[in-house]
Structure 1
């Protein structure tokens, strides 16, 4: 069984959020059907979708971006900060503002600047927030997240995206079924492979790219070490130079195209003296020399749903080896405002 420091209220809050994230995500899938149909109709009408968020909300959007493009929708996941700086497309589009708290500083600025539109929607876990009161919103079940790093909010936001994708005629997915099962493979070897590393790179493809980015953010927040999320190709184009025995490597392997390149990256890590950890939904044989955390074969957002709870547990366990009071920030707040400094 994984062990580490467990003192402090931050860890208890994280564990409480994670304990109910699956049930809240499943409830969110079924309680937003009407607004999901309305948003899907807007996307069908405009043919273009912009998803705007910050932090983990942005990375949830990055996962959904790939799924929308599979449906031939011109979808862009942008940080709300970039939208403020660069503006929005002139052509007709549907815009969704995503913020678990509904009070993110950049989201509030966008609300002040954007004109009323039938093609403007929101996603939040806080119906009484500024975002929740200002726009037609998909509402995540269970209320606002209180733990510092995004766990339940990420899972629930993904469920909201899945609800809209289903309303738009996306192919049937076992997203809810995977959430309900919540596989729990052993993580001890993966923990030992990563716990002593000074920095970590997490990488994936397709929907698993956004999952890598989200968990890189979570590891930085909780363990206070450099951690980076990459798409597989982006990992190869330069960052391979950082490979060394004290750099951890965590690869997210899906079936088919989602897993292409995993062996190349794993072998590069092994050649540099670091043992890669592979979260594997591919259904293929393990890669020799790597530490494999195996899941049933799943693809697309269902692969995300399968891996996410175990990734959260692993990252918290690694962080607990490095931080005495894990989950208790020293420089950040749960809801981040806007920096007005010139």
Structure 2
């Protein structure tokens, strides 16, 4: 592995950039109050790729509270926005560049006159920023290739801005500050963690990452990032979706990685699925503290943000798997940092 590759340097900077973002925690909380979520007729979360998965936890929280919230890729919003974005809607658009093709198309074709936009982006001069009524500048600094710093800061921004709704600001702030320390410690020994992941992760024909609930958003993000950064065909899906048909690939040729946050009933359901595929001859690896199979490296999760810890785990795995495929982790062959083509 190259400790000086652009991707690796960005991974190394994550704790610092998250700590800098946390200086603005009170500002993010105040912004959340200004949004007036309880008075909104609709709240729609949209983005693409990891930017889209960054808002999943908040959508799930709002749905549990009975709030009128939608969560969909910006590509789908292009098709249905005319009917969905009714007067009074708050549209939360996330795009690290602020210039992704689908987000730009939404801004171009949808009637924005009767809605308000919360833009979350790393570029305050972007198209998204210019169209936003409320703006979160991620301030993650330049990012060379695969999403790293911007993704972590997006996760933090989501939790801080919307903590007012669940009256959880102090606990969220405390958890995120604890997370800064946890990932700083973890990254200081990243080479060792990469070597461990390379030794522990099985050699198989088929690879799948699964999870449930918020951890399911991590498993899907992992599938995206591992394909992008390590050039390996690794499916990211939910554990429930895997039960419905894809389980037919279970057997000696399958490696399945569980993202699990230890909450019930998800943990018990994951353990049951893991036991079933182990019985078929599949290999099971586990990201989280409470599970079966082979445990993969992760930051200290005690009091930390679980999804940020998940991210460091699949980033670690991306370096290990890139070494197997003989590519520089995070380098682009066909994609680019900003996807500007529909």
Q: Which residue among 206, 222, 226 is the counterpart of 1:219?
A: 226
Query: 2:48 — aligned with what?
Result: 54
Q: What 5-or-longer segments of structure 2 have no aligned partner?
A: none
Separation (CA, whole Å) in 2 of partners of 1:332 and 1:294: 28
Q: In the aligned structure 1, how far is the partner of 2:206 from the partner of 2:230?
A: 10
Name the SS of the counterpart of 2:71 in structure 1: strand
Query: Could you say which residue in structure 1 is the equivalent of 2:99?
Result: 103
Which residue is equivalent to 2:80?
86
Q: Deviations over 1:280-322 (max 9, x none)?
A: 244xxx42x44365776669x9321333223322222222321
**Equivalent residue, structure 1, for 2:308:** 305
Shift of 1:121: 1.7
Distance 1:11 1:270 in 2: 34
1:132 counterpart (103, 124, 129): 129
Q: Residues 14 and 147 of structure 1 are in contact (CA less than 8 Å); yes or no, is this contact kept in structure 2?
A: yes
| Higher RCO, 1 vs 2 (CA within 8 Å, ≥6 residues apart) | 1
Q: 1:234 to 1:21 in 2, by over 3 A?
A: farther
Name which of structure 1's ranges 16-25 and 248-257 shifts more when overlaid on structure 2: 16-25
Is the Cα contact below 8 Å between 2:197 and 2:316 reproduced in 1?
A: no
Partners of 1:53 and 1:97 within 8 A in 2: yes
TM-fit CA distance, 1:188: 4.9
CA distance in 2, matches of 1:81, 1:125: 20
Tell me which residue corresponds to 2:276: 268
Change (3 A) 1:24 1:232: farther
- Kept after mapping to 1: 8 A contact 2:7/2:146: no
Distance 2:327 2:3 in 1: 7
| Structure 1 segment 40-51 matched on structure 2, within 5 A | 41=36, 43-51=37-45
**Residue pairs, 1:198-277, within 5 angstroms:** 198-257=205-264, 258-277=266-285
- Contact 1:279/1:295 (<8 A) preserved: no
Find the aligned partners of 1:261 and 1:170 in 2 and give their Cα distance.
30
Count of paired positions = 327
Matches of 1:330 and 1:63, distance apart in 2: 31
- For residues 295 and 100 of structure 1, do their structure 2 counterparts lie closer, same or farther at Cα, with a shift above 3 Å needed? closer
Q: CA deviation at 1:48?
A: 2.6
User: What secondary structure sits across from 2:271 in the alignment?
Assistant: helix
> Compared with structure 1, are the counterparts of its residues 239 and 21 closer, same or farther at alpha carbon in structure 2 (3 Å cutoff)?
farther
CA gap 1:241/1:298 in 2 versus in 1, 3 angstroms: farther
Structure 1: runs of 5 or more not aligned:
none
Contact 1:251–1:262, Cα closer than 8 Å, also in 2: yes
Summarize the alignment of residues 160-171 of structure 1 with structure 2, pairs less than 5 Å apart: 160-171=157-168
Q: Residues 27 and 265 (structure 1 numbering): CA distance in 2 closer, same or farther, change over 3 Å?
A: farther
For residues 163-187 of structure 1, the C-alpha deviation after alignment (integer angstroms, 9 at most, x for no partner) is 1221223433343133223253956
CA RMSD between the two structures: 2.7
The Cα offsets for residues 56-97 of structure 1, whole Å up to 9 and x where unpaired, read as 101112233223223332322211110102224265432111
Q: In 2, Cα distance between the equivalents of 1:147 and 1:247?
A: 33
Superimposed CA distance per residue, residues 242-263 of structure 1 (whole angstroms, 9 cap, x where no aligned partner)? 1233332110112332423111
